[in-house]
Structure 1
Amino acid sequence: MARFPFSAIVAQDEMKQALLVSAIDPAIGGVMVFGDRGTGKSTAARALASLLPPISTIKDCPFGCSKKDQARYGKICGTGPLRKRAVPFVDLPLGATEDRVLGALDLERALRSGEKVFEPGLLAKAHRGFLYIDEINLLEDHLVDLLLDVAASGENVVEREGLSVRHPARFVLIGSGNPEEGELRPQLLDRFGLSVEVRTPDNITDRIEIMRRCAAQERDPDGFAKDWADEDQKILRKIARGKKKVENLTVPEEVLADCAELCVAVGADGLRGELTLMRGAKALAALNGSRSVRREHVIAIAPSALRHRLRRDVLDETGSTARIERAVNELFG
């Protein structure tokens, strides 16, 4: 059945912006989406992955490597011809073991032939695509930590049972959760690049339109996808242009100063806030086709980049988003 088109998702503009920005620059560090059940969190992530064009991979490579990966990692990538395949979208189940995630010794082949062969895990399958974790706040902390380490480095290293394997694992990490099920530890949440709060729409017009589009998609999935194909292609072209443009954009000194001043004003912990603001503003500028990175891009990405990095202030019970908006108004007017 055809996926729900990304362009057909009603409202949830901040979530869509965060996903698109991460698609432009995966180095931003992934997206954490917290919010109510049934608000399109997984639908949006899957829709974006299915929207992207096929990638070229080495045919017999177990990691889905490109020619560039092959030049760096050598024989582990295989030597076959190139083939096209869909951008990977991998669901990580809550009960997954560390071996299932990282990869491990292929015990069947080891017992049968005595040969030590690496069996790739979910990180290998997600290479050059998306790794999606629903209810990430219920996943064991050590696994979340491990995933964030690999997402940041772009490489998975496995050394166990006499094996020593190093393979590429570059992916956009997307975590979603319902705050009612428990918050993610601040130390782990801080390592996500962007954080988005998703709420059930309270606009009657939006709710009616959501019902209308969902009914149309259930009635004729292929026809519904065709109806939105042109809009999806516009988004795809924006992503393609943005990926090329982002490499050549530089962030002016005055915009770097805006990032630093805003992080100080809201009391963001550490320096990840500034770095994410800088990268996010740059990726957003590229996505929008801007010739330069400007203050408006910093302001637009600030809530997503900073809301999960604020220190708790016992004298100020204002929500993190409101604190950021207040600081933006005080600093920039």
Structure 2
Amino acid sequence: MNQAAARPAFPFTALVGQASLQRALLLAAIDPAIGGVLVSGPRGTAKSTAARALAALLPDGAFVTLPLGASEEKLIGTLDLEAALRESAVRFAPGLLARAHDGVLYVDEVNLLPDALVDALLDVAASGVNTVERDGVSHTHDARFVLVGTMNPEEGELRPQLLDRFGLMVELDNRYDTAERQRIVKARLAFDANPQAFCAAHAEAQSALAARIAAARAALESLAWSDAVHERAAQLCVEAAVDGMRADLVMLRAARALAALESAAQIAPEHVDQVADAVLLHRRRALPDQPSPTQQQQQHQQQPQRRDESQKSLQSEVNAGSQPDWGELPPEPVAARAVKGVIPLPAKKR
């Protein structure tokens, strides 16, 4: 084993200033059916460090990276048809999806991958099953993993159709607080100087968090969504004007995972509120301009007044004996003038 392979990952519990990213990753680890986490942010914001740190907390600990130039066969695997015909058995060559089972599949610069590859990746991440078909021969295997995709907004956006397929999204910013920057740099320098000693100092916290993840996974099925939780999720999704129902499903799954992580006896609407930002960040659409509640109340109060004024005006016209037709204009005096070529009629005799 070379030195690079023996080098431990930076402890998840030692990350500084990444609370929102840490929570999103933990929720996806507890319930991979959430659909993975998309992390958007500039270079040097510890995106890959956090993903590797999460893998170290999982039982298998697998961390698989999908390179930009990977083919679809390398991702999903291949079937040896010659062996199938010769041996009457399917011989499957596993791809990256199979290797990532029970671990973390990390995709850096996911916005630069071909759409077909991202689509296939997201399908498996949501279903937990990979199916490879070739010329009527198919093979299916489990592929439950935590999908972590990262992107730098300066290098292009992900198409909305694919963006919606990611369960959660977190945006990272550059840190401009001097004290926080110092804590981040000091932790990194200490890890680089002696990784084993640094990890040993956080071993107890790491073990406790790994136990919490395992307990939360086991408790998922025992937690049910109440009508109040469903109502809160639906309300937030309607306010965000999201397309389709995926946001509702992801929000409910994420709320359940958070309740399990906190060892809560039941899922509460407060759990929905805590995960809503990560669920709606990449799905929220702008609603057309609508009057505010105050404006709506003022309009409602003005309607009876306008109706009374209209009725009074009509009644005054009736009392005056004038009932003009709708749209009729009042008469205006016109100056008389002689018209050429017109012969006046003779006056009538009396």
Q: TM-score normalised to the size of structure 2?
A: 0.76
Q: Aligned partners of 1:230 and 1:156: how far apart in 2? A: 36
For 2:244, the equivalent position in structure 1 comes to 270
State the 1:210 CA deviation: 0.8
Counting only pairs closer than 5 Å after superposition, residues 139-288 of structure 1 correspond to structure 2 as: 139-161=113-135, 163-288=137-262
Q: Aligned partners of 2:88 and 2:185: how far apart in 1? A: 57
For 2:267, the equivalent position in structure 1 comes to 293
Q: Aligned partners of 2:289 and 2:42: how far apart in 1? A: 28
- The answer on whether the counterparts of 1:118 and 1:163 sit within 8 Å (CA) in structure 2 is no
Q: Aligned partners of 2:83 and 2:134: how far apart in 1? A: 16
For 1:41, the equivalent position in structure 2 comes to 47
**Residue type of the alignment partner of 2:151:** G
Query: Are 1:15 and 2:21 an aligned pair?
Result: yes
Q: When the two structures are aligned, how many residues end up with a matched partner?
A: 284
State the 1:315 CA deviation: 6.3
Q: TM-score normalised to the size of structure 1?
A: 0.80
Q: Aligned partners of 2:255 and 2:248: how far apart in 1? A: 10
Counting only pairs closer than 5 Å after superposition, residues 70-109 of structure 1 correspond to structure 2 as: 86-106=60-80
- The answer on whether the counterparts of 2:250 and 2:279 sit within 8 Å (CA) in structure 1 is yes
SS of match in other structure, 1:33: strand
Q: Can you list the C-alpha shifts for 1:23-63, whole angstroms capped at 9, x where unaligned?
A: 1111111111111111111111111111223xxxxxxxxxx
**Distance change >3 Å, CA 114–CA 26, structure 1 → 2:** closer
SS of match in other structure, 2:130: strand
Q: Which structure is higher in RCO with an 8 Å CA cutoff and minimum separation 6?
A: 1
Report the more deviating stretch, 114-123 or 21-30.
114-123
Q: Can you list the C-alpha shifts for 1:158-215, whole angstroms capped at 9, x where unaligned?
A: 1215642122222121101101111110110101110111112222111001111111
Q: Can you list the C-alpha shifts for 1:272-316, whole angstroms capped at 9, x where unaligned?
A: 111111111111011011111112211110000111112245869
- Structure 1 portions without partners, runs of 5+: 54-85, 317-333
SS of match in other structure, 2:251: helix
Whose strand proportion is higher, 1 or 2?
A: 1
For 2:333, the equivalent position in structure 1 comes to none
Q: Percent identity?
A: 51
Work out which of the two has the higher radius of gyration on C-alpha atoms and give 1 or 2: 2
**Residue type of the alignment partner of 1:143:** L
Q: Aligned partners of 2:80 and 2:194: how far apart in 1? A: 43
SS of match in other structure, 2:105: strand
Q: Aligned partners of 1:122 and 1:237: how far apart in 2? A: 27
SS of match in other structure, 2:56: helix
- Structure 2 portions without partners, runs of 5+: 1-6, 291-350
CA RMSD of aligned residues (A): 2.3
State the 1:246 CA deviation: 1.8
For 1:5, the equivalent position in structure 2 comes to 11
